[in-house]
Chains A and B, each alone.
Chain A
Amino acid sequence: MDFRLTEDQRDLRAGIRDLLAGRYGREALRESVRASESSGVASSGAVSSGVVSSGAVVDRRLWRELGEAGFFSLRLPESEGGVGLGLPEAVLVFEEAGRALLPGPLVATHLAAGAVPGAASGSAVVTAFDLGGPLVAYLGEADAVLGAEGLPAGEPVRSVDPLTPLWRSSGVLPSGYREAGALLTAALQLGSALRTVELAVRYAGEREQFGQPIGGFQAVKHLCARMLVRAEVARTAVYAAAVTGDAAEIAAAKLLADEAAVRGARDCLQVHGGMGFTWEADVHLHLKRAWVRAEQWHTAPEAEELLAARLGAEAEEEAVAEAEAAAMG
């Protein structure tokens, strides 16, 4: 057993981190927020325009570059033009995308690789009915919906997250995708959670009050420490679930990563004080995206029920085994 990342895995992660730092740094992130507002998909209150025509948030050129880098075809066998890697590598790559707050239906397009033409190469944008209800993200700019014939009609809805345009439509998630979808979404949450720890720690080291950096105050320190503990527990849960592919471990990973991301962003906001409540700081972007992802694939109640069912089944097996042992002895 050696749970640590291999050299190749570390290189892969560093590669995608460099690519995203170059192509989707803070400037690009804020530019997409501005673009989404002018196209009217955002919900910033001030921009409550009715006509939502294009609403494009996905940068098609970047999408194709991601395709070329193997982001979508990562788990496709080499014989089918893919990279031939597995879930452990995929979670590392998605963790980086989560850290960068990269918008777009990354998980659905990745899952569609090999099934929907153009998904693997990043020439197609594929979304999915992963929100469990009438809402679906990115419908207006999607070329396909996972498992659906043609594009369903939809009504735009003002979205809480400026970078996740939402549409009211109807459709269902085809079976067979939920587990991988939940795990990769958990990896996005993990990246966001780790990023909010960094943002909080950096701000706490810079901002001074009462003649000292606020990071010297224990109340602030302990918020940061709690953020890290949640993120590190989520990290091992996500990585282990990627290795075992076990349904219950995936549910636990999603549950813990959702919590690490949502609560991490909340604590990060608190550390930033009034600055944290502004549109200008990135904190709200992490929080809003984390809220969206928490509703995708596996919600907390679903994950908890799934885990309870596994616990209950295991407990009954043990009871039977004990009864048999007693009968024999």
Chain B
Amino acid sequence: MDLAHTEEEQEFRARLRAWLAKVLPELPARPSPDDWPGRRAYDLGWQRRLYDAGYAGLHWPVDAGGRGATPTQHLIFLEETERAGAPYVGANFVGLLHAGPTIAAEGTAEQRARWLPPVLRGEEVWCQGFSEPGAGSDLAALRTKAVRDGDAYVVTGSKIWTSHAEVADWCELLVRTDPAAPKHKGISWLAMPMDAPGVTVRPLRTLAGSAEFAEVFLDEVRVPVANRVGAENDGWRVTMVTLSFERGTAFVGEVVACRRTLGALARAAKANGRWDDPVLRRRLGRLYGEFGALWRLTQWNVSEAQGSGGVPGVGGSVFKLAYSHARQELYDAAAEVLGAGALSLEEEWTLERLSSLSYTIAAGTSQIQRNIVAERILGLPKGR
């Protein structure tokens, strides 16, 4: 049980801190949430700076163009960038945390050479085309079909809830290549160019009013067979690799951000007098304790991953369950601090409160996570 950082880790932190202090003031102003082209340019620009400074793909393996950093260094990176108020991964999310690691783990040499460098350099944006109208929690029920025609698949179907679809260059797409096989056995993983003929993107408005995700209609889209990652009909296994990355590390930086928000909440509550209400004060105290513990849980999971060669384990589900709940509690508490002010969309916390509602749904609902915990960690019988 050692929480102290090695000299090497401390040096890494110091160098990163100095670099952040230098570059953050040089950044352009943040685009408005509705300015999608602006957001894309901003997020890619930040990724380019990371690349030039040697911080891109920190946790990716060296032979995939990454820096081969330890999970602890990656954790320090996420902690420091968040603490300094650096931009979040934004539109680079799927490329850096999802599709990229999957291609690095499962792709051929040509595929890695084609797709990984542009992600690291901040040149290409990926989106994730997994969910369908008829396949959400039961992802393996997906029906978008891909029929082989020479050296291409002809893909027809529709995807839904695809985040960043409007500004993406590539889509990691799950398709059914064998309709006769059992549902987990007939799926393949394709990299689909978003500008291919037959792709139509229709933005969906979220309850926060913005268009964060979209429906994607696919009408006889030709995707080269060479764009398939992993064997034909082996896409489910490839997908499981991707999902373990998503649940394992995707929210680390956000825990740091939540702790900063708590500090701001305390200041606001002191300023408007609500801090004197012991019920609210104790509520904030409890959240402070919970987010501290969640940060420790992150360090625990990272230490475990470090011991097992880097692939995050099912501990990610335990973390996601606790974190998504705590985040919703945090912004409910923020609303209590704001009082009627929480009804104004001009308050940043009101928007955050709205967006926090997706945390118990996206990336596997809390019910699905509890099934995973019960069946895979506790060994209870599988449901039908």
Contact = CB atoms under 8 A, between A and B. Distances in A.
Interface of A: 1-6, 9, 88, 197, 201, 204-205, 212-213, 215-216, 218, 220-222, 224-226, 228-229, 232-234, 236-237, 239-240, 242-244, 248-249, 251-253, 255-256, 301, 303-312, 314-316, 318-319
Interface in B61-76: 72, 75
Interface of B: 1-6, 9, 72, 75, 262-264, 266-267, 270, 275, 278, 281-286, 288-290, 292-294, 296-297, 299-300, 302-304, 306-307, 315, 318, 321-322, 367, 369-371, 373-375, 377-383
A308 B288 contact: yes
Contact of B292 (A216, A220, A248, A318): A248
Contacts of A229: 318, 321-322, 373
Contacts of B289: 237, 248, 251-252, 255-256, 303-304, 307
Nearest to A306: B285
Contact of A233 (B3, B6, B283, B294): B294
Contact of A237 (B284, B296, B377): B296
Contacts of B6: 1
Contacts of A9: 1
A225 B373 contact: yes
16 contacts: A1-B302, A2-B306, A3-B296, A9-B1, A197-B378, A216-B380, A221-B380, A233-B297, A237-B289, A237-B296, A304-B286, A306-B285, A311-B285, A311-B288, A312-B266, A318-B267
> Secondary structure at chain B's binding surface: helix, strand, loop or mixed?
helix
Nearest to B375: A221
Contacts of A318: 263, 267
Contact of A201 (B266, B292, B378): B378
Contacts of B263: 311, 314-315, 318
B380 A307 contact: no
A184 B153 CA distance: 62
A186 to B, nearest CB: 11
A226 to B, nearest CB: 7
B354 to A, nearest CB: 24
Contact of A240 (B266, B296, B304, B318): B296
A252 B379 contact: no
A224 B289 CA distance: 23
A303 B370 CA distance: 29
A3 B1 contact: yes
B50 to A, nearest CB: 23
Contact of B282 (A221, A256, A301, A316): A301
B290 A319 contact: no
A305 B318 CA distance: 27
B239 to A, nearest CB: 23
A131 B318 CA distance: 33
- 5 tightest CB-CB pairs across the interface, nearest first? A252-B289, A308-B285, A307-B285, A221-B374, A315-B266
Most buried by B among A4, A197, A307, A316: A307
Contacts of B72: 1
A249 B285 CA distance: 11
A233 to B, nearest CB: 5
B262 A221 contact: no
Contacts of B278: 305
A249 B292 contact: yes
Given A3-B303, A228-B378, A307-B285, A312 B275 contact: yes
A181 to B, nearest CB: 18
Most buried by A among B296, B307, B373: B296
Given A1-B3, A224-B380, A233-B322, 12 more contacts: A3-B303, A205-B380, A215-B381, A225-B373, A229-B322, A232-B315, A243-B3, A301-B282, A304-B285, A307-B289, A310-B285, A319-B267
A201 B379 contact: yes
A306 B6 CA distance: 31
Contact of A221 (B286, B288, B370): B370
A233 B255 CA distance: 14
A158 B264 CA distance: 48
B288 A310 contact: yes
B294 to A, nearest CB: 7
A304 B370 contact: no
A195 to B, nearest CB: 14
B284 A236 contact: no
B80 to A, nearest CB: 14
B381 A212 contact: yes
A222 B374 contact: yes
A124 to B, nearest CB: 30
A255 B321 CA distance: 19
A64 B284 CA distance: 44
Nearest to A308: B285
Contacts of B281: 304-305, 308
Contacts of B294: 233
Nearest to B303: A3
Most buried by B among A88, A197, A212, A216: A216
A213 B297 contact: no
Contacts of A4: 1, 300, 303-304, 307
Given A197-B378, A222-B367, A237 B293 contact: yes
A262 to B, nearest CB: 15
A242 B75 CA distance: 21
B267 A5 contact: no
B1 A243 contact: yes
A1 B299 contact: yes
B275 to A, nearest CB: 7
A308 B1 contact: no
A6 B297 CA distance: 17
Contact of B373 (A216, A228, A255): A228
Most buried by B among A201, A251, A256, A311: A311
Given A251-B289, A315-B267, A216 B381 contact: yes
